[in-house]
Amino acid sequence: MTAVAERGTEAANSARTSTPPAREARRAAEALAELRRPVSWRIRLAMALAAVGALAALVPFAALAELAELLLAPGPVDRDAVVTVAWFVVAGIGIRGLLIGLALAITHFADVDLQAVLRRRIVRRLSGVPLGWFSENSSGAVRKVAQNDIADLHHLVAHHSVDMTTAVVLPLGGLGYLCWLDWRLALLAVGTLPFFAAAYAWMMRGYHEKMAEMNTAHGRISSAVVEFVSGIGVVKAFGRARRAHESYQRAAEAYGRFFADWVRPMLRLEAISSMLISAPVVGLVSALGVVWFVNQGWITPAEALAGVLVALVIPTTVTALSFGGEDRRVAAAAALRLRGLLDTPVLPVASPSRKPADHRVTLDDVRFSYDGSTDVLRGVSLELRPGTVTALVGPSGSGKSTLATLLPRFHDVTGGAVRIGGVDVRDIAPDELYRWIGFVLQDVALVHGTVADNIRLGRPDAGHDEVVAAATAAQIHQRITELPGGYDTVDAQFSGGEAQRIAIARALLADTPVLVLDEATAFADPESEAAVQDALSELAAGRTLLVIAHRLRTIASADQIVVLDCGVVAERGTHTELLAGHGRYAALWAAQEEDSNE
């Protein structure tokens, strides 16, 4: 595989899109410049040191040429002059190593500081975004930005600027030195570059179109793999594994044919073009050229030696510049994703914050839309009195979970208002709001740490006895004591029902007067469902409870049952009243009863 194709494949795998248009490229460059701004002055200082270091690297070349003059001069060799020249060689090498090393040390420390700055900015930004943002964005995507994309900036900050400065200044300084000796030496040193550039331009014809085709082929293969893996159980059960595999095989073969047709014509051309800037060829061309120049009397043998030595710098320069451009494109794309995360809108915080008078919850003509155009909820008005249980039921997609998340302000309403104790939740600071509202969601998140730390999440200052009391009330204490480290067990493994009881213990310890329970028994196995229900009964005592339930038997005793359908309140009342009404709730109840009796 050619180097051009290899770099193309890497770009396709990392981006999965063709090269961005000019507008996006500008945005990426602007994002990169903005993110590097805190350390930009240090990078510029490192570049200045690297430039001086690169020029110092030319001193040995000039000194060797002078040494050749001394050794080839008629008569006895001037030993003092030879020693002086030798010290110049040592000094040039030493100064170069010192300055380049210092420049790299500066950029590496800058990179460490920049990573810390960016991660702090991410933490500050994510701590202020609406909680609903986290349900819409996977933790994997956030981790990729916070870790992988920041890591993609490492090479650009810690190495790229120093390497590129050296790669540019060293050959330019060398060519300037050769021009000072004889302009023909400078032309000879870059004699093979035009041929390499022409060959490279020929190879890059249609590169963007080929990359688009490659990305399309990658997409076909990925889709075939996902389709095969997702349905492997079904296709094997029906004896269709071979046919299901054929889709992937066709996609892989098509990709192989495309890639071979693209790469094969470039192999010979790239071999020739790479050879044109290889050290042996450049050295041979320079050696033959300087022999001619010396025979013509244009230069001295010592100047010829300098010309050959400087010419050998060119191949490493071209290689560094080629890969440096790709590194910058990767870093710019990562910077654009980072800035997208850092520009995530934060939740508006009221100042000054108001405090609710009690834990009565009212929803007044609430409307909500995720995209600003289609309402998920329309004209919902409810009252949740203190000490009562309100249950939300309805078919999937009716807006139950969306409505529940408006209370703890996962999202802000697009119309109407949600109030606690007569105060709009938008006028309550988040810290104050979460002292009033707690929630137990169906997707329980257990953080890294001990079991006690997970329960203590809502009240970090709670004592051990309080943690144990909350776990006991949540029907999970006995299971915790069976762990090797008990409450001090780190990253303990729990079943779905057990994890939900940990979340209930967390809510009990937080002791908020308003609670939102979203399918709190969704992942409970039959054996632990009774324990979860007992824990919920303990949790509900004296609080304002909003419960989302799929199993209607679990909320039959609720003080108020609200049936949502297509984002509007279709029915409300007690279990008895709704059954007597023979409406949607009665139909849902009958369907579940029939399923349970089968």
Report how far residue 161's alpha carbon sits from residue 104's, in angstroms, rounded to the nearest whole number. 9
pLDDT digits (tens, 9 = 90+) for 190-237: 777 777 767 666 766 665 666 666 666 666 666 666 666 655 555 555
Q: How far apart are the first and last CA of the chain?
A: 62
In the block, residue with structure tokens 């067990």: 489
The pLDDT value recorded for residue 444 is 75
Sign of torsion over alpha carbons 438, 444, 448, 449: positive
Cβ(327)–Cβ(164) below 8 Å: no
Residue 539: per-residue pLDDT = 63
Mean pLDDT by 10 residues, the chain (598 residues): 42 42 72 86 92 87 74 71 81 89 92 89 84 71 76 84 85 84 81 72 63 65 65 53 62 72 65 67 78 82 79 72 71 84 84 88 92 86 90 88 88 92 91 86 80 88 90 87 91 83 86 82 56 63 83 84 91 92 89 72
Measure the CA–CA gap between 151 and 483, rounded to whole angstroms. Answer: 37
CATH class of the structural domain 361-597: alpha beta
Spatial separation of the C-alpha atoms in residues 126 and 128, rounded to whole Å: 5
Distant-in-sequence, close-in-space partners of 498: CB < 8 Å, separation ≥ 6: 476, 479, 528
Rounded to whole angstroms, how far apart are CA atoms 184 and 489? 76
| Domain segments of the chain as ranges | 22-180+315-346, 361-597
How big is the CA angle at 368 (ends 363 and 371), to the nearest 5 degrees? 165
- Residue 200 is predicted with a pLDDT of 67
86-143: per-residue pLDDT in tens? Answer: 888 888 889 988 999 999 999 999 999 998 888 888 888 888 888 777 777 666 667 7
What architecture (CATH level 2) is domain 22-180+315-346? Up-down Bundle (1.20)
Tokens 């595989």, residue located: 1
CA angle 215, 217, 218 (to 5 degrees): 60
d(CA 271, CA 488): 62
Read off the tokens for 529.
Answer: 């469902």
pTM: 0.66
How many Å apart are CA 376 and CA 410, to the nearest integer? Answer: 15
